[in-house]
Structure 1
């Protein structure tokens, strides 16, 4: 009888182990993919790619027991050799090769040169060949930074007493309403892919007080723009016992401050690789929706066309205004018109034409929508009636208010949009690992 009693230490070491240990002059075993080969004749440089980065290995004719001609880019290999200090090599060391063992070989040559510093190909080519293009160092650096954003979001909210939840994505009815839903045949019942975890995260405030989720959401919008995806990752949180929607904005500011500190500390290599300068989030200005429209109209001589919503050009101008006036890449735009907010948004008691809600713009792009929710049963029924909605359609959601809910609010952050602006990319597909848009369902 055999038993599995945990992870066994492998003979092969990683980059971090070599950097942290006393390995200079010692023989090590290392594995990785052959990123590139530079054949200089009697000597060749075999560069291995690992999750941690690149390792320079030196092949020497007559010393390394291997025929270099049989080695190809993207071979998975295990090598044996001696660690030598080398300032010019990645991480300041190289491996003087004694043996190479090929673990697997590619069936065909690479369709694009992933070992190049920049992939000089079109976005369409990069996306069509996504399983390969992601092996490029700069491409994969984007998603390490994205990992850091989600990690920071989670870590900070845990520190603030939030509980992580996982809500269903197959739902009977979308939280946002409208026609932009993907409809499903669910065992002969009508169902949809969730546009938002809104109903469920509010429900869980009645259970845990503070909750968060990082998960996909779906919007059947037929937009083919640089800022829209049909499936994206939403970073949501909802918090109870708030004094006002300003508490939600303050919590997001804390989240962003923690994320930027984490990225600066643990993701410096990727930030440097992509030339990213982290924004200052020590203070984020806030401006009312109607005042924001007036400010950009006055400064940039732009006529206000839509009094109920912000057009993409207006968002860009608001971002430009607050960068020029306050040197801030972020701005909270508050008190959106009730006409353009969902039924569960709390109206401003001072003027019910507006809501206690906000968007966060990052370099002129909306990356967050949030606000305070109605928590009183009679109040939410009255607003639904005013909008011609049938309470029976969402009876399970209304149950939470019928049996008591604290004042609460929350938000949703678009992960891909936030990453896009942070990296100064021009298309949100660049920051979606496998984007889903109106034309793309594969790979």
Structure 2
């Protein structure tokens, strides 16, 4: 049974006010609920900084028994304008309640994390570090980015799909597959929804999915995760990969407009700026891109793709010369693309592309093979097992339209948008080569 002294009863006195709305209540009594972000005691006057989902507020009182930081608290008091307080207002406390006390000191000092905490420690104690203002701002930007992704594609007539994450074969071949036992059979975690979203083009013509994908790559870099959120798109009845790039261009313009409207406070808190994004993102074939970075910067690229330094230099060039933070790199060789990439005449190049943003690849995409005989020839060329891909290839016997698509790594895009050096800090609970917890 509740009593008059319990918080459950007291909450009926005033509706809860969020810290971002204090300016609407100047001179009025309000009730705040949140976490004890920081505390100070100055000669009998206590300062309690309360943090809620919308921000922080300075609360001032006397004779208070303040609990440990991160305790859940409730403050009732009068709103007063104060030029030095966060948001320009503070609360003069008339009632202070502890809703749930922290039972031990936090392993991280949340208000000071950015300057005195080891980055690995922030990941070890992610269940606490995520409460930091900058950490949660990062995830809110990502949430709004994904929301804008949904909204724009829905408006363009796309249908959201959900595809299996336990599969019998990899979408892209290779060894970077997580193996698992599936009732005595060999199965894998999906590298990509690629094969399924192509099949679904035969159903809805335009489809997308937002879901995790898994790569068993033993790297430990600032740009890779072994589990990440993939924003996948596939569209039918295209003329060429240009239609796919044009869609991604429109999509990114829409996403950035949405972030400008909804996340100005988060960008300001993080000291980040929205990118220079033209209505027509420039394109350059891969071999010309390699020649450009050699000619302009003396950087020699080996292998079959661009290396990280070449990606950085190419983006620098297009920002300085063309005012774009983005550039499409096109016409990739078959050796650098999966078996389903549509080959150009002559067979050496494909209609595949990457999108680079602020020095890093955030998208791979292109036109796909849609003709059955061409697909089977490609499967053989890549030395893949046709039987393991039969569940995918069979649909191409039944009139698949010309189609293509792309995938965006949500964490990479978020990290580049916000100037975060390590992609692990753009995911709530990252999974990398050495991390399975928390």
TM-score range, shorter chain: over 0.9
Alignment partner, residue 335 of structure 1: 331
Evaluate the alpha carbon distance shift between residue 10 and residue 234 of structure 1 in structure 2; reply closer, same or farther with a 3 A threshold. Answer: farther
Consecutive unaligned residues of structure 2, counting only runs of 5 or more, are 1-11
State the TM-score, normalized to the length of structure 2. Answer: 0.93
The offset of 1:312, in angstroms, is 2.0
Work out which of the residue numbers 389, 396, 399 in structure 2 matches 1:394: 389
Q: Does 1:212 align with 2:208?
A: yes
The offset of 1:374, in angstroms, is 0.8
Q: Does 1:294 align with 2:291?
A: yes
Alignment partner, residue 33 of structure 1: 35
Work out which of the residue numbers 147, 153, 158 in structure 2 matches 1:157: 153
Alignment partner, residue 403 of structure 2: 408
Alignment partner, residue 18 of structure 2: 15
- Runs (4+) of structure 1 exceeding 4 A deviation are none
Contact 1:12/1:31 (<8 A) preserved:
no
Contact 2:20/2:54 (<8 A) preserved:
no
The offset of 1:119, in angstroms, is 4.1
Give the alignment of 1:46-195 within 5 angstroms.
46-59=48-61, 61=62, 67-116=63-112, 118-195=114-191
Evaluate the alpha carbon distance shift between residue 167 and residue 16 of structure 1 in structure 2; reply closer, same or farther with a 3 A threshold. Answer: farther
Work out which of the residue numbers 350, 353, 372 in structure 2 matches 1:377: 372
In 2, Cα distance between equivalents of 1:18 and 1:382: 63
Deviates more, 1:30-39 or 1:190-199: 30-39
Contact 1:117/1:137 (<8 A) preserved:
no
Structure 2 residue matching 1:411: 3-state secondary structure: strand
Deviates more, 1:68-77 or 1:375-384: 68-77
In 1, Cα distance between equivalents of 2:301 and 2:69: 57
In 2, Cα distance between equivalents of 1:305 and 1:238: 31
Q: Does 1:425 align with 2:428?
A: no
Contact 1:117/1:138 (<8 A) preserved:
no
Structure 2 residue matching 1:140: 3-state secondary structure: helix
Structure 2 residue matching 1:426: 3-state secondary structure: coil
In 1, Cα distance between equivalents of 2:41 and 2:22: 27
Structure 2 residue matching 1:322: 3-state secondary structure: helix
Evaluate the alpha carbon distance shift between residue 10 and residue 362 of structure 1 in structure 2; reply closer, same or farther with a 3 A threshold. Answer: farther
Contact 2:165/2:189 (<8 A) preserved:
yes
The offset of 1:277, in angstroms, is 1.1
Work out which of the residue numbers 248, 269, 276 in structure 2 matches 1:273: 269
Structure 2 residue matching 1:353: 3-state secondary structure: coil
In 1, Cα distance between equivalents of 2:327 and 2:87: 39
Give the alignment of 1:346-357 within 5 angstroms.
346-349=342-345, 351-357=346-352
Consecutive unaligned residues of structure 1, counting only runs of 5 or more, are 1-8, 62-66
The offset of 1:289, in angstroms, is 0.7
Deviates more, 1:376-385 or 1:216-225: 376-385
State the TM-score, normalized to the length of structure 1. Answer: 0.92
Alpha-carbon deviations, 1:113-156, whole Å to 9, x = none?
10227342221111111111111111221111111221121111
Work out which of the residue numbers 302, 307, 319 in structure 2 matches 1:305: 302
Work out which of the residue numbers 279, 284, 303 in structure 1 matches 2:281: 284
The offset of 1:301, in angstroms, is 2.1
Evaluate the alpha carbon distance shift between residue 404 and residue 368 of structure 1 in structure 2; reply closer, same or farther with a 3 A threshold. Answer: same
Q: Does 1:364 align with 2:371?
A: no
The offset of 1:86, in angstroms, is 3.2
In 2, Cα distance between equivalents of 1:394 and 1:96: 68
The offset of 1:84, in angstroms, is 2.8
Residue-pair matches, total = 427
Deviates more, 1:365-374 or 1:50-59: 50-59
